[in-house]
Chain A
Amino acid sequence: MEKRMNASLQRPEIKLQSLKEDIKEFFKISGWEKKLQNAVYSELSVFPLPSHPAAPPEHLKEPLVYMRKAQGSWEKRILKSLNSMCTELSIPLARKRPVGEQKELLNKWNEMGTDEPDLSLFRPVYAPKDFLEVLINLRNPNYENGDSLSFRTHLGLIQVPLKVKDIPELKEFFVELGLTTGQLGIDDSTQVPPELFENEHVRIGQKVLAEQDSAAAQQYIRQGSPTALRAELWALILNISSQPEDILYYEQLKTNVIQHDLLVDSLIYKDVKLTASNDDYYFVFEDYLYQVLLCFSRDTSVLGHFAYNSASPPKSYIRGKLGLEEYAVFYPPNGVIPFHGFSMYVAPLCFLYHEPSKLYQIFREMYVRFFFRLHSISSHPSGIVSLCLLFETLLQTYLPQLFYHLREIGAQPLRISFKWMVRAFSGYLATDQLLLLWDRILGYNSLEILAVLAAAVFAFRAVNLMEVTSLAAAEAVLADLSTLKVMPLLQIFLFATVT
């Protein structure tokens, strides 16, 4: 951006004497000021606040030592699993493709879904439920809560003392979801005349887009985005604009895919075939998913997000040079090992973007802003640990009878809702509802809404759940969320339930 700004400064209006004012004026007129503002806003949203100057870099990733340690051992386990699969199947982690294979792949680039490699021997490196077991065993060594049970005892699976919001705090945080504010997902239903809310909301949305203001877009989208404006609004909030260099970068990644084959590619294939290909909404976009995820694995710019992610990219060594740091590489190149269901982060985006490089950019930004928190161990309020604790606390505090009953029959609620939250509900909700939910994730720059929705779903089906007597029956009651309308559920749970 700097380069472009510099280039645009070679203009006659800008005189040396009044350089400062001229530049300011020029930026305002040409729209550069807005772009600059958006870029700064973007950085503010992503990076954590400046911390104590003496804090080491690990602190930026994760301030609590025991969390860092837990994340470290979890990573070791994943890597071990990956390496053993590698050895068992005698497949290298990476290899260069012969020229013939490269040509073939290039021809098939738009229809990789029709390729049916033998994936039967591959297994996903881990599934959400494996990760849940790790979280359940998390303990803070400095915390002693005694053996005596009191009404304060947390009955859920997560046993770490993190601060989570209660309903009054959530009401304040999500104030725009309140009963007196118009919402898309509620006030645009066919029974409501569009003059009451929808038309005006659309008009404001168009204005926000015309102004190209990221911060305004983020505020606006808290009330939901009209379908026709959503693609542009998300791009504006995530500060994505498809510049030629972005398209070039994507093409470069594509070339990397063509030239080298990675073991994780097979994991990606397997994941897509197991999840998105069987999904009523997303099967159509199977080929786009390969095009995005294979490139994603090779994108080293993603490594940047590990500065504020508690996770660290796995390291591997060139054959025969184990332990020699000069021969260490990150594997996969982007440092992210996909797990079962990973492709579902990309699938909903295919409804909005049909141009591969734009789709790619949006997904990458969504990942490094939000999705990474759903599968790494950290104390961040949007991290999966906090979300689980928030969910359990909400349930225990506001639906104690239900919580107790489910616990008694061996159906800890988190065991059912965990998979929803890890996937940000993708594949569980109808697509239009999912997009309304993700609107609010972007709007509030937080994933806490996932935990609130999970609790709201339990509240909604509470009557049926009170009657079940086993975990399997509880799962059955909550198996199909495809008919749920998320905004009314959230509104009722936060604002209309007597607490």
Chain B
Amino acid sequence: MAGKVKWVTDIEKSVLINNFEKRGWIQVTENEDWNFYWMSVQTIRNVFSVETGYRLSDDQIVNHFPNHYELTRKDLMVKNIKRYRKELEKEGSPLAEKDENGKYLYLDFVPVTYMLPADYNLFVEEFRKSPSSTWIMKPCGKAQGKGIFLINKLSQIKKWSRDSKTSSFVTQSTKEAYVISLYINNPLLIGGRKFDLRLYVLVSTYRPLRCYMYKLGFCRFCTVKYTPSTSELDNMFVHLTNVAIQKHGEDYNHIHGGKWTVSNLRLYLESTRGKEVTSKLFDEIHWIIVQSLKAVAPVMNNDKHCFECYGYDIIIDDKLKPWLIEVNASPSLTSSTANDRILKYNLINDTLNIAVPNGEIPDCKWNKSPPKEVLGNYEILWVIRTLFPSEVGSVIPAPRCCVYDEELAQGDGADRELRSRQGQSQGPKGGRSRDSGRTVLTTWK
């Protein structure tokens, strides 16, 4: 393992570059021999594209999966989750159980969503069922809150109607594709303000699924008081929590940046709502992240040169139910406050420690099982791995969720999940940090 890691990036952010430099890695250009490339999503398209792509060698690692958009494009994410749910239902899996209204009990975590213009008629049918509802229109391919608007009348989206005669909307290129989702108009408010959660999730491989959640996520608050009143539908400062938008509001504060740590949120909820419902909420959040990854795992190109750090956006409603809004492949590495800078610096640091073991020249054939000590602020969200020899025939304490034998897991995955789940109290709980972390599974080779 002689020589230092050679790195390239096309994202000029200090939190990245400082981390590379502190490891003594050497900066090179794209055309030279490199070991580690932290690339933007445009670049990964080129690397893996049919025309311009090239093969990566064993000592090269990149920070995106080739078809990450299966998870990170709003329409594809919804499509994959819907497909996943139908598959589970067909298998008769208990996870796909529905309630008396036909709603999934454990897998209803994405707001009702339709693609436009493809599902326009289906959408209209749904819209007419509850005509006073508000819907949010999001362009599939954009980020940072760009192009998003709210509607509460069908006339506002006439353009996307397939039958529209006046439509100047000719092509259905993916650029113009939109998704329309039921707007969550009863978000949990704190101090009267709406907020969403940004959580970071690292995936080192999809098959078998190994993912880690960063313990230090944060809440992003809107600067303006939330009101569901229809007159404020146009006021993006009320409804969208993206920092890119909030930053331009009059009341944006550059000291705290309108952000709270997740631990503040937890303290507040435990103090005002109680411990059980708070723990249940956080367990559900972990659950929906894992389920979303499982949903796309079958279609993901599980290239061994790849890892990815996603930014998950989650909204909690006033019944303490979490909703998955979207997943970002390139979470912002810009720092809006000093605390932010420290957080993102540490995030990259811990990510690199897991993705590039020991900071040495990588070998993409490694088993992608980092020892516990290098996790830093990450904790295991879901890991399937083979038993260590010392563990064979013994009782193993479950970390976050389940740890079990790879061979057996690949056989009857869904069954095994359920069995472990019955060890806990109710519903889709993925295991608790301390108390039921003692839940044990006997595994055998």
Contacts and interface: CB of A to CB of B under 8 A. Distances in A.
A239 interface: no
A404 B407 CA distance: 68
Nearest to B438: A193
Contacts of A354: 272
A352 B272 contact: yes
B267 A286 contact: no
B435 A283 contact: no
B225 A287 contact: yes
A35 B343 CA distance: 49
A173 interface: no
Interface residues of A, number: 31
Nearest to B254: A278
Contact of A431 (B192, B250, B267, B274): B267
B435 to A, nearest CB: 6
A281 B270 contact: no
Contacts, number: 66
Contacts of A113: 251
A228 B270 contact: yes
A185 to B, nearest CB: 13
A264 to B, nearest CB: 23
B379 to A, nearest CB: 11
Contacts of A230: 271
Interface string A50-61: 000000000000
B190 A284 contact: yes
Contact of B251 (A114, A280, A284, A432): A114
A111 interface: yes
A273 to B, nearest CB: 10
Interface in B251-288: 251, 253, 255-256, 258, 260-261, 263-264, 267-268, 270-272, 274-275
Contact of B256 (A114, A283, A285, A352): A283
A194 interface: yes
A435 B272 CA distance: 14
Contacts of B225: 110-111, 114, 287
B131 to A, nearest CB: 28
B191 A288 contact: yes
B433 A190 contact: yes
A232 to B, nearest CB: 10
B341 interface: no
Nearest to A189: B434
B270 A227 contact: yes
Contact of A351 (B251, B267, B339): B267
A203 to B, nearest CB: 13
Contact of B274 (A114, A228, A279, A280): A228
- Which size bracket describes the interface of B in this complex? 20 to 34
A280 B258 CA distance: 8
Contact of B253 (A116, A231, A283, A350): A283
A284 B271 contact: no
Contacts of A226: 275
Contacts of B339: 280
A251 to B, nearest CB: 18
Contact of A278 (B256, B260, B434): B256
Nearest to B274: A228
Interface in A350-366: 350-354
B193 interface: yes
Contacts of B260: 280-281, 284
A396 interface: no
Interface string A273-316: 00001111101111110000000000000000000000000000
Interface of A: 110-111, 113-114, 116, 190, 194, 226-228, 230-231, 277-281, 283-288, 350-354, 431-432, 435
Interface of B: 190-193, 221, 224-225, 250-251, 253, 255-256, 258, 260-261, 263-264, 267-268, 270-272, 274-275, 339, 433-435
29 contacts: A110-B192, A111-B192, A113-B251, A114-B224, A114-B251, A116-B250, A190-B434, A194-B435, A227-B275, A228-B274, A278-B255, A279-B256, A280-B260, A280-B339, A281-B260, A283-B253, A283-B258, A284-B190, A284-B193, A285-B191, A287-B191, A287-B192, A287-B225, A350-B191, A351-B268, A351-B272, A352-B271, A353-B272, A431-B267
Given A228-B270, A283-B256, A353-B272, 16 more contacts: A116-B250, A190-B433, A190-B434, A226-B275, A227-B270, A227-B271, A228-B274, A278-B255, A278-B256, A280-B255, A284-B191, A284-B193, A284-B221, A287-B225, A351-B272, A432-B263
List 9 A-B pairs, minimum CB-CB distance, nearest first: A284-B191, A228-B275, A111-B225, A227-B270, A285-B191, A280-B256, A278-B255, A228-B274, A352-B271
